[in-house]
Amino acid sequence: MKLAATIGVLLCLGAPVFAQDSPFIAPSGSRPLVNPDGTYVFQHLPHSDILFEGQIAPRIIIVDSIGKATRRVLLDGKPGVWGYQVSATPMVRLRMFDETSNPVRTPSYMPKGTFQLARFQNMSTSTDSDTDEFNEGPIAMWLIDTIPFGHHSNGQNGCLFTSEVRDEEGECVELVPVDPKTVNKENGSFSTNYIEAMVFYGRMYLDSEGAGAGEFATRWEWRGGIGIQLNPEGYVGGSIKPELSDLYGPTRVLFGGMAARRDVWRCGRVATEVRLQYLTDAPSGIPALITQAEGACFPRRWGGAGLFVRIYHGQDYYNLGFAEKITRLQFGVTLQRDQFLSFRIKPL
C-alpha cells in the first residue's frame, strides 16, 4: 500500500515534468546547458519516514558565448575556441515526511550563481574540413565550472540544538550542558555560504545523424574533474557559524565523472555519473568520503523527462541532516540536465 502510494505520488509529481520540452541536442548558436544541477522527484530504499524527496533546479542562463563558440570549432586549422556562460540557479530541495499532515520539513534553499569557462578543440587527425573524419572530432573540452557564491539554508530561526534557547539578545545559549547534542530538526536554523570551483576535461565524439542541417552533434561524451568547495565563516550574510562549521565539514575536495550517449534503445539520452566528496575535516561519526553513482535514461518523446536510479553513501546532504550518515538507493523521475553539444561545419 505504501509502495503504491509512493508510485502514485511520483507519477503525479512527475506529470508537470513531462510537460517540459528540452531537446537532447543543443544546436550551435543556442544557449546550451552544460553540467547543470538536476531536477528530481524520488523515493528511496530502504524505506524511511520520507514520503518523497525532490530537488528543483532550473538554470537561468544570463550571458552565454558557449553556443557561439560551437560555431567555430570545426573550422579549418582546428583552432582552440573559448566560450563562457554566466547563470543563476534558484535551487530548492525538499522532503515530505510520512507523518500527520505530511509536513515538508525543513526545505533547503540553495540559490547560486555559476560562471563557466570552456575551451574546445577539434582533435581529429584529419585536416580536410570537408570530410566526415574531420567533423566527427573528437572535440576536447576543458571546463572550469565555478560557483563564486552559493547559499544553503533552511529558512528557520530556531536554535541549532534542542538543548538551546535564545536569550534576550537573540543568541542561542545552552540551558543545561548536554553531550552529545541533538540537532533541532523541527525549526533549527541551518545556513552556510560557499565557494566552489571544479576543472573538468572531457571529449565529445560527433556524428551527423539526428543533427540539424550543417551540423555534427555529440553522439557520446565523457568528462572527469576535480575541485574544491569552501564554506568560510563570515562570507557574506548567512555564512556558516562556528558551532555548525565544526560539525559540517566546511572544506570538501570534489571529484566528478560522467559519460552519456545519444539514442540507445528507447532512450534519447543515457547518462551515468559518479560524484565523490572528501571532507578534509569530517566530524566524528561521519565518514570522510561521500559517494554517489547515478544512471538515467531519458526516453524519446518524454519531453526531456527521464527515469533515474542512484546509490548514495555518506553524510546526509539535507540541511539539518548533516550529523547523520545515510546509505540509500534512490529512484524516480528526473528532468534532462546536460544537452549534447552540436557543432556547425565550415561553411562551403
Q: Using CA atoms, how far apart are residues 176 and 159, in angstroms rounded to an integer? A: 14
Contact mark string toward other proteins, 178..207, x via CB under 8 A? -----------------------------x
**Which string of DSSP letters, residue by residue, matches 213-280?**
TTEEEEEEEEEEEEEEEE--TTSSTTPPPHHHHHHH--EEEEEEEEEEEEEETTEEEEEEEEEEEEET
CB of 207 to other proteins, least distance (A): 7
Among 24, 40, 216, 220, binds other proteins (CB under 8 A): 216
23: contact with other proteins by CB under 8 A: no
174: contact with other proteins by CB under 8 A: no
Among 127, 131, 182, 280, binds other proteins (CB under 8 A): 131
213: contact with other proteins by CB under 8 A: yes
Q: Which is nearer to other proteins, 183 or 206 (CB)?
A: 206
Q: Which of 182, 53, 160, 39 is nearest to 105 (CA)?
A: 53
29: contact with other proteins by CB under 8 A: no
- Could you give the angle at the alpha carbon of 238 between the alpha carbons of 105 and 178, nearest 5°? 65
Which residue type, as a one-letter code, is found at position 220? W
130: contact with other proteins by CB under 8 A: yes
Q: Which is nearer to other proteins, 1 or 213 (CB)?
A: 213
Radius of gyration, alpha carbons of the chain:
22
Which residue type, as a one-letter code, is found at position 314? G
# residues near other proteins by CB under 8 A: 16
Among 53, 64, 215, 294, binds other proteins (CB under 8 A): 215
Q: Which is nearer to other proteins, 44 or 219 (CB)?
A: 219
214: contact with other proteins by CB under 8 A: yes
345: contact with other proteins by CB under 8 A: yes
Q: Which is nearer to other proteins, 263 or 316 (CB)?
A: 263
299: contact with other proteins by CB under 8 A: no
Q: Which residues of 7-19 are buried (b: 16+ CB within 10 A; e: fewer)?
A: eebbeebbeebee
> Residue 294 forms beta bridges with which residues?
273, 310
CB of 214 to other proteins, least distance (A): 6
**Which string of DSSP letters, residue by residue, matches 94-110?**
EEEESSTT--B-SPEEE
Q: Which is nearer to other proteins, 1 or 348 (CB)?
A: 348
76: contact with other proteins by CB under 8 A: no
263: contact with other proteins by CB under 8 A: no
Element (H, E) at 2: helix 2-18
Q: Using CA atoms, how far apart are residues 94 and 101, in angstroms rounded to an integer? A: 15
State the cell numbers at 267: 532512450
Among 209, 233, 246, 281, binds other proteins (CB under 8 A): 209
CB of 305 to other proteins, least distance (A): 20
Q: Which stretch binds other proteins (CB under 8 A): 29-37, 127-135, 141-149, 236-244?
A: 127-135
135: contact with other proteins by CB under 8 A: yes
State the cell numbers at 91: 535551487
Reduced to 3 states, what is the DSSP secondary structure of residue 305?
A: strand
- Chain residues binding other proteins by CB under 8 A are 130-132, 135, 207-216, 345, 348
